[in-house]
Structure 1
Amino acid sequence: MEAITGYPPVALLVSVVLVGTWLLVTVVRYVRADKGTRVSMRQAVRVRWGWVRLARMAKLTVTDKTPSLLAQITAQKDGPGPAPRVLTPKIKVKPDQYGVIVRARTLPQVGLEEYQKSARFLADAWRCTRVSVLPDGPGKVVIRGVRSDPLTTPTEHRPTGHPPTDLTRWELGVDEYAARVCVSLANVPGVTVAGVPGAGKTSGVNKFVCDFAPSPSVQIATVDGKVSRASEGDYADLVKRMFAFCGDDLDEANALFKRLVELRKRRSATIRDVLGVKNMWHVGPSPEWPLTVLIIDEAHTFFREYKGSDAETKRLAALTAENARLVEDLVKKGRSVGILVILISQKTTGDAIPTFIRDVCPIGLSFAQKTVEAAVAALGEDIRNWPDASPVTLQDPAYVGVAVMAMQGRPGYTRIRTPYVSDADAARVADATSHLTADPDLCLDALLRSTGRTAPPAPSLTK
């Protein structure tokens, strides 16, 4: 009897210790959190405490008239039957910098569609800018409520300097619900990036270079139509990590395009014997066979049509026509051998980037645009049916760094906040990874020699 009576004090003590520990952990998390997350933590408490009442008002509950087994056992034989039960979906709430993520269960007659219909009501009740509802597996939904708009909240990205774990994933930024947006680069031959000057095009590409620079399995060449020398312009801090760079000189650009086409031909001729596959993406990039990325900034500089009868104009016209043919070769035939072309231009209309190149690129991003026609050229005719997502609406300075793209598996178009990478961070990454820079032609020569094959010497390439 004494042992039994001694249990309640011990149980009470254990309960007090557990509750105290939980409160201490919560307070520490709250103190260490940033200002936005603290507000979201308080918001999460309100969401939990008010969920039962809110679910009933939002018609997200179900009345179960069948009594439970316990109710059937305890019910009196001649008395009234058990009252119907009101079932409320169970939820789990997680706060973050922008708002809350609520994971909820579904019930009979309360599924994904019912949650989506109540999204606007939930946004008002939770004081959110917008709420989205997406499936989260069988019998589950995830409700994302953002209190502050991620699209108008500038973000910065500090590169870690570590090689990416997956070379097929390009992390672009966050969407309007603060969810991370990634696109797959596997089997992608080309990417187009459009937008008015100062909208964030080059900054987005700088992040790509900084994220992939620590990997020896990625090699980058750049053609920049805005500058004349490597020490100028947006890529001056990154040129150390590029195996080739040229400015607005059409002859130099033409020589680089020819060199990469020759690399494409050599890879196409040897890929089966060397890698044992027809498609490089079946085994992935490697230091011996790196993913070779060609960035063409201000692409219209190298494809424009020159009109005139004098000898120099005719020469330039023939040169830009050949440039278009060479880049078309890379985009249409370079996918399986690991060559990716990123074309950047203010407008991706047919006079800036030939349609036989532009329309082959499966990924298209558009930052702010001034005209609907420019938006259509960058994203396709379907953008006319989604006026709220059109890049024409991004001309406000608050949207600098925000792009629009069509995402696979999502209806319509997604708006993405791309983070800013400082010049100091870009220079730091380029300096730390410059020793990884290698000419893909020389890499192929070394790989062929290691496998006992011979190959003609690669022509020299000057930065």
Structure 2
Amino acid sequence: MKNQNAPAEGVVGHTPLTVVLVLAVIAGWAVWWVVRYLRADAMTRQSIRQAVRVRWGWKRLAPMLKLSATDKTPTALATLANTNGKPIKPRVLIPALKVTHDAFGVIARAQCLPSVGLEQFQKAAPHLADAWRCTRVAVTQDQPGQVVIRGVRLDPLKFPTEHLPTGDVPDETARWDLGVDEYAQPVSVNLTQVPGVTVAGLPGFGKTSLVNRLLSDWAPSSAVQFACADGKVSAAYEGDYADWVQRMFAFVGDDLEEANKLFRHLVELRRARSASVRSVLGVKSMWDVGPSDRWPLVVLIIDEAHTYFRDHKGSDPKTKKLAALAAENARLVEDLVKKGRSVGLLVILTTQKSTGDAIPTFIRDVCPVGLSFAQKTAEAAVAALGEEIREWPDANPINLQDPTYVGVASMNHQSQPGFTRIRTPYVADADAARIAVQTASLTADPYALLEAVLGPRLGDLDLTKTDTEAA
């Protein structure tokens, strides 16, 4: 007779093997988790423990903070199982939470529920910070129906960082990677279609290092060419840009007459590009096709900009000449900022105080991107970032004067309201010099490149008509 218990015995026979496999998987996961924990640094270990506490305490914490929803409609299964006719208890729904960690804290992604969305999570942020033992918590929309909760246990702004340039061609020519914000999240600004950037701040707080990173990251691209007017030095071998001169098609020091020649040359380039952009690129704006080797993005760095625009007072011939040069310099740079955007000219102006006497307001107010490192006065902060900075006292650069905040700047971010503070990294001089040497062969005068494209036609361009065209 056939044994009817054979299938059951087969299942029972396989049970120990299944149990062994399950236990092996659990043991492997535990070993992997322990190894990862032991190999982490002290800060990351704290974050790992913090992430575990967040996961374990979420189901209890969420209802306490009104981050739960009550579902009074019984499920089909609950209805079928209800045989005694008593009312079915409503279900309490808790948003699903996935938690990861880094050295500074935790990053949690939560699924929204009816009546529990972005607004409710943002209102609960201060209480989440207390419960999770965080310095601050921010809630943003990740995608429809999901929010990201970023909690930092340590203030990322207080930890200096360094940037090691790779020498690789950037994926996006006009994207400027600035550093990390107060939640340790990467911050970048898209300079496509941006005519000008202003950078202000006290000496020694990070302005030059900020520009140094842009040069280090963008120099490997032949679709970008640089020129510089450095008001701190008199000769190219001096100052912060001495190594970078070999990657610049033009460089001038604090001589106003030499600066005037450079600005005039760039205005002539702007006029020639405005007159020929359609015939060469087939579009009205260079940004419709992007920078290229033959039509590169031209970045003009004007460091200590007040040197070139300061109003000189006096009646002697020398002072009058300086005053005339400063006024013309301002007019020429205004032309570049107001009319150079669509043909691929970007002006970056740095100064200690971007008040009207340092950067004329008709230039400063046209620059849509502004950053400020530490400032001593509210007037300087407003000049750098606008009147709205008064409404954001936590981000005001007058609070950044402590040496701990060297390298920290405030800015009006493009993708979010208000102001944010960012920690910009330090770029070592040796690394900057390495990139400058590696990329020196890519240097070319954009005007000469345009001459090579147009040939004899360049002399036939009517450059006077473009003076009234705002790019």
* Structure-2-length-normalised TM-score: 0.93
Question: In structure 2, what residue type is equivalent to 1:440?
Answer: P
Q: Provide the rounded CA distance (Å) in 1 between the counterparts of 2:449 and 2:28.
A: 57
2:154 matched residue in structure 1: 148
Mapping for residues 304-453 of structure 1, pairs under 5 Å: 304-449=310-455
SS in structure 1 of the partner of residue 299 of structure 2: strand
- 1:408 deviation in Å? 2.7
Q: Provide the rounded CA distance (Å) in 1 between the counterparts of 2:112 and 2:258.
A: 61
Overall identity of the aligned pairs, in %? 65
Alignment match of 1:21 (pick from 21, 25, 28): 28
Question: In structure 1, what residue type is equivalent to 2:81?
Answer: T
Q: Provide the rounded CA distance (Å) in 1 between the counterparts of 2:236 and 2:100.
A: 47
SS in structure 1 of the partner of residue 243 of structure 2: coil
Question: In structure 2, what residue type is equivalent to 1:250?
Answer: L
1:455 matched residue in structure 2: 458
Q: Provide the rounded CA distance (Å) in 1 between the counterparts of 2:35 and 2:238.
A: 48
1:133 matched residue in structure 2: 139
SS in structure 2 of the partner of residue 163 of structure 1: coil
1:280 matched residue in structure 2: 286
Q: Provide the rounded CA distance (Å) in 1 between the counterparts of 2:261 and 2:28.
A: 68
Q: Provide the rounded CA distance (Å) in 1 between the counterparts of 2:41 and 2:232.
A: 40
| Residue deviations 1:11-68 (CA, integer Å, cap 9, x gap) | 2122123223322332343344333222212211111111111112222122223222
| Residue deviations 1:183-214 (CA, integer Å, cap 9, x gap) | 11111000000011111111111111101011
Mapping for residues 261-272 of structure 1, pairs under 5 Å: 261-272=267-278
How many residues end up aligned between the 2 structures? 453
2:165 matched residue in structure 1: 159
Alignment match of 1:98 (pick from 82, 96, 104): 104
- 1:386 deviation in Å? 1.6
1:178 matched residue in structure 2: 184
Does the C-alpha gap of structure 1 residues 347 and 38 become closer, same or farther in structure 2, counting only changes over 3 Å? Answer: same
Q: Does 1:12 align with 2:12?
A: no
Q: Provide the rounded CA distance (Å) in 1 between the counterparts of 2:292 and 2:43.
A: 41
Mapping for residues 105-120 of structure 1, pairs under 5 Å: 105-120=111-126
- 1:456 deviation in Å? 4.4
1:168 matched residue in structure 2: 174
Structure 2: gaps (5+ residues): 1-6, 461-471
Alignment match of 1:37 (pick from 44, 54, 58): 44
Question: In structure 2, what residue type is equivalent to 1:240?
Answer: Q
**Cα RMSD for the two superposed structures:** 1.5
Hey, which bits of structure 1, 4+ residues long, moved more than 4 A? none
1:197 matched residue in structure 2: 203
1:71 matched residue in structure 2: 78
2:250 matched residue in structure 1: 244
Q: Provide the rounded CA distance (Å) in 2 between the counterparts of 1:217 and 1:17.
A: 55
SS in structure 2 of the partner of residue 411 of structure 1: coil
Q: Provide the rounded CA distance (Å) in 1 between the counterparts of 2:95 and 2:18.
A: 31
Structure 1: gaps (5+ residues): 458-463
Q: Provide the rounded CA distance (Å) in 2 between the counterparts of 1:257 and 1:409.
A: 32
Does the C-alpha gap of structure 1 residues 34 and 288 become closer, same or farther in structure 2, counting only changes over 3 Å? Answer: farther
SS in structure 1 of the partner of residue 343 of structure 2: coil
Q: Provide the rounded CA distance (Å) in 1 between the counterparts of 2:275 and 2:118.
A: 51
- 1:303 deviation in Å? 0.5
Question: In structure 1, what residue type is equivalent to 2:82?
Answer: A
Q: Provide the rounded CA distance (Å) in 1 between the counterparts of 2:317 and 2:219.
A: 42
Q: Does 1:228 align with 2:231?
A: no
* Structure-1-length-normalised TM-score: 0.95
Q: Provide the rounded CA distance (Å) in 2 between the counterparts of 1:203 and 1:86.
A: 53
Q: Provide the rounded CA distance (Å) in 2 between the counterparts of 1:217 and 1:132.
A: 38
Q: Provide the rounded CA distance (Å) in 2 between the counterparts of 1:4 and 1:412.
A: 64
Q: Provide the rounded CA distance (Å) in 1 between the counterparts of 2:457 and 2:33.
A: 65
Question: In structure 1, what residue type is equivalent to 2:160?
Answer: P
- 1:152 deviation in Å? 1.2
Q: Provide the rounded CA distance (Å) in 1 between the counterparts of 2:79 and 2:272.
A: 79
